[in-house]
Amino acid sequence: MATPVRDFAHSKEFIEPPGYRRHRPETTLLYQLVARHYPAFRDRRAAEGRALPRFVQNEFEAYLKCGLLEHGFLRVKCDACQAEKLVAFSCKRRGFCPSYGARRMAETAALLVDDVLPQQPVRQWVLSLPFALRYLLATRPETITRVLGIVYRAISGHLIRKAGLRRSTAATGAVTLIQRFGGYTESFDPAHPGRAPPGCDRLI
C-alpha cells in the first residue's frame, strides 16, 4: 500500500535539510480565499449564462494545485549528507500565482541583465491603451501580437530614420513586457518595448 505523501515526508527514513522549510501555498491567505470562493463564483457565473472563459478557469484550477505534494513532486537527495527534500510541481502559469510569477520574473530579469541589455544601448517605450482596447486584448491574445507588431514597426522605423539609416542596413529588436493590471486591479495592457537611442547603427 502506498504511503500517503504527508506521512512519507515525515517518516523516519526522510532526512529533511536543516533550516529548510518547504513553501506551503495552502496556508496563504490568497490560496484560502480562492479555494473558498472560486467554485461558487464559477458556478454562479455559469448559472447566469456568463461562464468564465476556459483560460480563466484553467488559471484558477492550476493555481489550486500549484505547490501541493499530492499533485506531484520530485524527491531530491544530497549524496554527501543524505538530506532530502520534496519539491512540489508548480503550475507554470502566468496569471496570478505569486510563487511561479516571482520565479519567472527573477529568471527573466537575470537573462536580460546578463545576456541581453549589456550588449547594446536601450531605450524604453511605454504603450498605454484605452480601457475598451485593454478588455479586448485581454480576451483575445492573438490580437495583442498584431498590435505589438504595428507598434514595433512604427517605433523601429522612427528610430532608423532618426539615426539616418535605412531598414535594409539597420538591425532592430525588442523585448516586450506586458503588464495586465493597474493599481486597482483593472484590466491593463500597457507594453514596455525597449529600443536603442537614435544614432546607433544597431538597435535592440
58, with CB counted inside 10 A (0-12, 13-18, 19+), is middle
| pLDDT of the residue at 185 | 42
Task: Identify the band that residue 11 occupies on the pLDDT scale cut at 50, 70 and 90.
Answer: low
Q: Which distant-in-sequence residues (6+ apart) come within 8 Å of 185 by Cβ?
A: none
Cβ–Cβ contacts within 10 Å for residue 13, how many? 7
Cα separation of 22 and 25, whole Å? 10
Strand residues in 49-93 grouped as ranges (E): 73-77, 84-88
Find the range with the poorest average confidence among 32-36, 79-83, 189-193: 189-193
Q: What is the pLDDT of residues 94-108, one digit of tens each?
A: 777 777 777 777 888
Sign of the CA dihedral 26, 28, 30, 36?
Answer: positive
Give me the chain's average pLDDT, please: 77
Treating both helix axes as pointing N-terminal to C-terminal, what angle do 54-63 and 29-47 enclose, rounded to 10 degrees? 150
CA dihedral 124, 184, 52, 135 (to 10 degrees): -50
Q: Are 9 and 84 in contact (CB under 8 A)?
A: no
CA 126 – CA 191 distance, rounded (Å): 6
Q: Is 70 exceeded by the pLDDT of residue 16?
A: no
Contact present, 14 and 8 (Cβ < 8 Å) = yes
Using 50, 70 and 90 to split pLDDT, how confident is the model at 181?
A: low
**Phi/psi of residue 63, nearest 5 degrees:** -65, -40
Residue 166: all three cell numbers together: 535605412
Q: Is there a contact between 167 and 160 (Cβ–Cβ < 8 Å)?
A: yes
- What pLDDT, on a 0 to 100 scale, did the predictor assign at position 22? 75
Residue-wise pLDDT for 23-67, tens only, equals 788 898 989 999 999 999 999 999 999 999 888 899 899 999 988
118 DSSP assignment: G
- Spell out the domain ranges in the chain: 5-88, 120-195
| Percentage of the residues of the chain whose pLDDT score is greater than 90 | 15
